Amino acid sequence: MKRLKRFYISSSIIVLFFALGGIEAEAGCQGKFVNPITDICWSCLFPITIGGINVTGGREDTPNPHTLICACPRPPIPFPVPGIPISFWEPVRLVDVTRTPYCLVNMGGIKIANQGGEAKGSGSVARGSGNNRALKHSFYQVHWYVYPVIYWLELLVDFICIEKNGFDIAYLTELDPFWNDDETSFIINPEAILFANPIAQAACAADCVAASSGFSLDALFWCGGCQGSLYPFSGSISAHVGGVQGSLLATQRMIAKLHREFLLWGYMGKEAFCSKYPMPIIRKTQYKTQMVYPIPSTKGCQPLGRSEMLWGSGKEFPYKGEDFGYLIWRKRSCCLL
């Protein structure tokens, strides 16, 4: 458990670092630290496939490469070393979705003090105006954490296929002008203009149906399943149904945005046997989400786009239940040497 101890030490150092810069006690900032024992759905690791054969059983899964042998370079050996293909789901990232700028939900609900005055990008949920008063819209900030919890807990000792990184707060959308303005975000997603029409959006109904019965459709990369449209890559939710729906859509947009910026890569399929590969357009089937705040969903993980109507019931409530935390599970295919 040495790595878990190092995680708590490193996270404490980060909190102390923020404290030196100032932390505001604010009623709007709520949260808690994730308990890796009780708050994580460990059954989401399964199924595990070896050589394309399911050896564990488990939940829904994406197609896996059906090959018994793989080979990858392993310096200083001058030729590819044969290995065994293995595929599994790995918890690797943690996400805050909050309406309070600089509120670190998964860091215990602390708020980084804004030394430059009033924080920009405050979130909200409000009704539209004029003929659109029946529709709600919202805005959320998102924080992205590096969180390879399997490595810290030493569940798979010396397993070459798991991510081996330290805890880190990797991305704050408060500092990103693209996230805080729809027009500015057009710079990194100019194709959004192609999908801003009723025909393209109507196709998202099929994506919702597919996600609710299995996985969403990668071909419909502009759709966020039952949550709405993945475009634009910003925090503005134009059709807000509820906090769970809005926060899930913000999470999906964040993942899509990081892929577009080459900060997230591909880890599934034969292409990933030896190393990760560029994936500028998100493959939604590579990810599942699990709520860890305000109420951990320890009985299952949800593919991107799946309807939240059943499992999300009662997960949003006033005061402490208006911000959200999610654990991101990533499909990993690897050549086990």
Bridge partners, residue 302, by sequence: 289
Asked if 252 and 224 count as a contact pair (C-beta separation under 8 A), the reply is: yes
Mean pLDDT within 214-228: 95
Q: Which of 337, 288, 331 is nearest to 163 (CA)?
A: 331
| Percent of the chain's residues with pLDDT above 70 | 84
Residue 20 has pLDDT above 60, yes or no: no
- Tell me: the pLDDT tens digits for 297-319? 998 899 999 999 889 888 999 88
In whole numbers, what is the pLDDT of the chain averaged over residues? 86
Tell me the domain boundaries of the chain: 2-336
* Cα 53 to Cα 206, 216, 301, 324, distances in angstroms: 30, 23, 22, 36
pLDDT tens for residues 70-116?
Answer: 999 988 888 899 999 999 999 999 999 999 999 999 999 999 866 45
Start-to-end CA span in the chain (Å): 25
pTM exceeding the 0.85 threshold for the entire prediction: yes
DSSP SS3 for 87:
strand
SS3 57: coil
Question: Residue 266 to residues 78, 256, 270, 278: CA-CA distances in angstroms?
Answer: 26, 12, 11, 6
